[in-house]
Amino acid sequence: MLIVRLLVLASLPILDLAVGFEVSENFRTRHCGEEFCWSLLIIAANALLSWAAVYFALFLLAIAAARMPSVILRGPLPMIFSLPLILLITILLMQCSWSWFLGLNFGFLPSTDIVVFLVENLARIPRHLLQTAPAETIGLTLAVLLLSFALVQLFFDPARRMKQPMGTGLVFAALMVTAFGAYLSAPHARAKFSAIAFNKMLLVRLDPSQADYVLNTALEKTFIPRLPSPPIGKADGDHPVIVVLVESLRRDLIHTDPTPIPFLKSLAEGDGIFFDKAYATASHSNYADVAFWYSRYPMRSLNLQSYPTDAGYRGTSIFKLMKEHGYTTGYISSQNELWGEMINWLNVPAEVDYFYHSENFRGKTWYSQGGGLAGMIRMGMATAGKIEDSQTLKIATRWIEGLANKQRFFLGMNLQNTHFSYVIPPGGARPYQPSEIGSGALYYLWPAALKTVVRNRYLNAVHNLDQELSAFAAALKAWNLWDEALVVIVGDSGEAFHEHGFGNHSGPMYDEVMRTFVMVKPPRNSDLPRDSFQGAVSHLDITATIPDILGMEVPASFQGRPVFQPGGSRPVFMHSNALVKQTGLVHWPWKLLKTYYPFEKTELYDLIQDPGERKNLADLESASAHRLSEQLDLWISRHLLYYSAPEYYGRYNPPK
């Protein structure tokens, strides 16, 4: 029996590694070439460490059980005692099962940032997994629970009977903590593995030739002092303002034939202004959304960041600005704003008169065509934790209808039907076929073979949302509000369909993800030209343009610049810290991307000659790459310095 147990212990990690190396050819080809693949060994080391953590946890809890009075372990109590152990082993085994897949396909390894984020959003992670692949999630969970139970039965009692001294337990506890710490921080990889490169920026923020400038506080001298705000009076005219942030709305939808967005296209080509080169600030919503409402870049730290309620650097939101100008303000969202703690900066009672998100919704937050568990597994839970957008728009309509002054309100919205796996409302049209994804497509990880089906599903979701927005506009017209309203439609990100080997967003910042649909419909009496705007702009600039159109002074804390003001072109910056750690800038026609995790890479593209970003010119155009890289490094350095201490963000406005 001892031999059987030892074989089981050894076979699980060996099988894990054998399968991993067998399927790693694609990883080696992309990231190693003909060279010896150190990165592959580091991923293997992480997998082994995760198995070591499993065995240490098993052994330690068995030791703990051995020291309990025997009376406690009689009857049903041993099984009750082992339940936490089974759950712990389940979590660790699931980590093992994902370690190779994510590592080999995307170079994605756990980190302390990721663990902290998962713990903070623990209640919402299962919803997300069930939303995208319910059958696989439930099946994997049951399989791992059974495996965990088998491991407990095999090893728990024998280890408990070993009667190890307390010193042995403490030694193993120290080993387990050390191994798990190494697993999360990967110090063993510091010499070769490029995932650590991102942390180098904490130590070297500028190239050596600029180091003296840091010592001489040259960066601080570039900051603009924060002056007392002048009294704010009521802006001229009464114009309702409606700003709709739409999940994953690609810029090229307006050029798709046949168009999935007839209403938005007619608006952009008629009374609206379409921004052809508008860029999001990040590839994931928990950065991009708040950045838009505050007109602030999400570069505050190199670590994964959230939104503390007491942050002295929060700045002025568009809601606060409009409230100070006498507007009634509202924020109505289909998503759960607890995600990433965004709610801390969005639900500020002194600035937002009415706040509503999915936690306030009392109806179903998911839809499926079948009933019960079987229907859920067959169809997938499309919008777990989110409100279906037609319901959100009805809530917004009722809020506007109840306002005493319908001429002077500011409404911010966040719509989510266009998030994977793309919600089709009950009775919604499905003109793009085939479009049934099934229940096995995981967000970001679905195979390229599904791209036609997934894209069609996306287009159907976009098409139905376009119809809902048209109906919402009709309600505004019925109240005689539409003509005088300032309406802004912004995609918070784009959406990828394997143009660069991945789906959805939250990953690399190529144009299919970062260049989004943006349209502004000014009030009827505005003299702005109704035309396509061709300059490269950031979403932060769109936010700053809202008060500019209304004749208000743009807050000094806004990092965006009104697009219709003179001043010439300037770089558009971006920063993501989700499935990749990456920074970038667009200084048209050049686009520079610097990746720090999961591998080091610099990319330079000429977006006029190469709009698909296929030919990396970082080596051929080394002078341009170096110049833009210096600009990007300086941008990073100024932001890290600004947010590093109250002496900076308390005295100055953020870097422009």
Handedness of CA 215, 594, 182, 445 (dihedral sign): positive
C-alpha span between 520 and 296 (Å, rounded): 20
Residue 214 has pLDDT above 70, yes or no: no
The separation between CA 570 and the C-alpha centre of its own chain, rounded to angstroms, equals 26
Share of the chain above pLDDT 90, in %: 45
Handedness of CA 47, 52, 55, 58 (dihedral sign): negative
Which single residue is written with the structure tokens 């460490």? 49
pLDDT for the residue 93: 54
Which single residue is written with the structure tokens 């969202």? 333
C-alpha span between 581 and 579 (Å, rounded): 7
pLDDT for the residue 234: 47
Residue 61: CB partners within 8 Å, gap ≥ 6?
A: 84, 85, 88, 156
Q: How many CB atoms lie within 10 A of CB 157?
A: 15
Greatest mean pLDDT range, 44-53, 82-91, 520-529: 520-529
pLDDT tens, position by position, 45-62: 666 666 666 666 666 666
pLDDT for the residue 252: 96
pLDDT for the residue 216: 36
Residue 370 has pLDDT above 50, yes or no: no
**CATH code, 224-653:** 3.40.720.10
Cα separation values, 56 from 14, 197, 426, Å: 17, 30, 50
pLDDT tens, position by position, 581-632: 899 999 999 999 998 876 778 999 999 999 999 999 999 999 999 999 999 9
Where are the domains positioned within the chain? 2-192, 224-653
Of the candidates 435, 405, 398, which has an alpha carbon nearest to the alpha carbon of residue 420?
435
Residue 162 has pLDDT above 90, yes or no: no
Handedness of CA 562, 564, 566, 572 (dihedral sign): positive
Of the candidates 65, 88, 82, which has an alpha carbon nearest to the alpha carbon of residue 180?
88
